[in-house]
Chain A
Amino acid sequence: MIIDALLLQAGYNAALVSLGAALLGAAAGAAGAFLTLRRRALMSDAMAHATLPGIGLAFLAMVALGGDGRFLPGLMLGAGLTAAAGLWAVQRLSRQLAEDAATGAVLASFYGAGIVILTLIQGLGVGRPAGLETVLLGSTAGMLRADALVIGFGGAAVVAALWALRRPLAMVAFDPIHARLMGINPRQMDALLMALVLAVVLVGLNVTGLILIVALLVTPAVTARLWATTVSGTAGLSAALGAACGYGGAAISAAVPDLPTGPVIVLLAAGAFALTLVIRGHADG
Chain B
Amino acid sequence: MSQIPLDVRDLTLRYGDVLALDGATARFPKASMTAIVGPNGAGKSSFLKSVLGLEAASGEVRAFGGPVADAMARIAYVPQRAAVDWSFPVRVIDVVLMGCYRQTGLLGRIDRRFQAQAMACLARVGMQDFARRQIGALSGGQQQRVFLARALAQGAELYLLDEPFAGVDAATEAAIINVLKGLQAEGATVIAVHHDLSTVAGYFDRVLLLNRHTIAEGPVAEIFTRDALARAYGPSLMLAAE
Give chain A's interface residues, CB within 8 Å of chain B: 37, 39, 164-165, 167-168, 170-171, 173-175, 177-178, 180-184, 225, 228-231, 233-234, 285
Contacts and interface: CB of A to CB of B under 8 A. Distances in A.
B159 interface: no
Contacts of A225: 89
A171 B110 CA distance: 15
Secondary structure of the A contact surface, majority rule: helix
B106 A182 contact: no
A183 B54 CA distance: 12
A168 B100 CA distance: 12
A185 to B, nearest CB: 12
Given A164-B106, A167-B101, A184-B101, A229 B91 contact: yes
Nearest to A164: B107
Contact of A181 (B52, B85, B107): B52
A165 B98 contact: no
Chain B CB within 10 A, most for which of A167, A180, A184, A233 = A167
A178 B94 CA distance: 14
Contacts of B85: 39, 174
A178 B150 contact: yes
Contacts of A175: 82, 84, 98
B137 interface: yes
A174 B101 contact: no
Contacts of B89: 37, 225, 228-231, 233-234
Given A174-B98, A182-B101, A183-B72, A230 B91 contact: yes
Contacts of B107: 164
11 contacts: A167-B104, A175-B84, A180-B54, A182-B98, A229-B89, A230-B90, A230-B94, A231-B90, A231-B94, A233-B89, A234-B89
B180 to A, nearest CB: 19
B136 A170 contact: no
Contacts of A230: 89-91, 94
Contacts of B28: none
B117 interface: no
A173 B98 CA distance: 12
B91 A168 contact: no
Contacts of A171: 98, 101
Across the A-B interface, give the 5 residue pairs with the lowest CB-CB distance, nearest first. A182-B101, A234-B89, A175-B84, A285-B134, A174-B88
Chain B CB within 10 A, most for which of A178, A182, A231 = A178
B56 to A, nearest CB: 13
B165 interface: no
A228 B88 CA distance: 10
